[in-house]
Amino acid sequence: MSSNDLVEKNLALVYSCANRFRNKGIEYEDLYQAGCLGLVKAANGFKEELGFKFSTYAVPVILGEIKRLFRDGGAVKVSRCVKEKARLVLKEKERLEIKLGREPGLKEIGESLGYDEYETAELLNATLPPVSLTLCDDGGEKQTDIPVESEEENIQNILALREILTKLPQEERKIIYLRYYKGLTQSKTAEILGISQVQVSRKEKKIIGKVKNFILE
């Protein structure tokens, strides 16, 4: 299949990826255009002989182009709803500091408001002032370089990991899926598989060791 055919038949991937970033401070049309650019790049770089689905390769490239808009396009706007939640989190943080006599952890702040640690961290970040990418020094203005991970390297890592997982026995793949894709605890994983939590822990360590060996081969 030609790269043009791949682009035409997979535009739905762009819609799906762009929709993830709606109302995040950048117009949807710009998100869509960046996503289309990523789709074209993915179509040109895709190698069918590797045995992977095109979508597996394309989605990280599309997302990479969309995220580039936020890195290169200045400050990202924060919605009013997020700002209000962020103020509540900041207020609760200050209240707990007084009550505990120390700076509270994310878990403590989140539990008192009904948020998980990830959401609490995101809301606290929303209260921070934006950082300019253009700084002034004695020699005038200069651009600040922010190190970012290579999207190509991320894609290669994802594909390599998926290939490694196909080499594992079914039970070991199941453990990895439940623990790292579904985010379940060892106890819950053990319950689903009908084994003990200790067995899950031992098997998990063994699997991670296998994966490391595959990578080093």
Report DSSP letters for 101-146, one per residue: SSPPPHHHHHHHHT--HHHHHHHHHHTSPPPPSEEEETTEEEEPP-
Q: Tell me what pLDDT residue 147 has.
A: 45
Q: Is residue 135 in a domain?
A: no
89/63 same-domain check: no
Kindly tell me the burial class for residue 72, based on how many C-beta atoms sit within 10 Å of its own C-beta (0-12, 13-18, 19 or more).
Answer: exposed
Residue 10: inside a domain: yes
Are residues 23 and 67 both part of a single domain? yes
Same domain, 7 and 68: yes
Helices (H), the chain: 3-9, 11-19, 28-45, 54-72, 80-100, 106-113, 117-126, 151-165, 170-176, 186-193, 197-216
183 and 209 co-located in one domain:
yes
* Whether 11 and 46 share a structural domain: yes
Residue 98 counted as domain residue: yes
Tell which residue, 64, 35, 66, has the closest CA to residue 150: 64
Could you read off the pLDDT tens digit of each residue along the chain, which spans 217 residues?
A: 677 788 888 888 888 888 888 877 788 888 888 889 888 888 888 877 666 678 888 888 888 888 888 776 544 455 566 778 888 888 888 888 888 888 888 888 888 888 887 678 777 766 655 544 444 555 554 544 444 445 555 565 666 677 777 888 889 989 988 888 788 888 999 999 999 999 999 999 998 888 777 766 5
CATH of residue 212's domain is 1.10.10.10
What pTM, to 2 d.p., does this model score?
0.38
Domain count, the chain: 3
Q: Do 51 and 85 fall within a single domain?
A: no
Range of the domain at 58: 3-72
Judgement on whether residues 57 and 96 belong to the same structural domain of the protein:
no
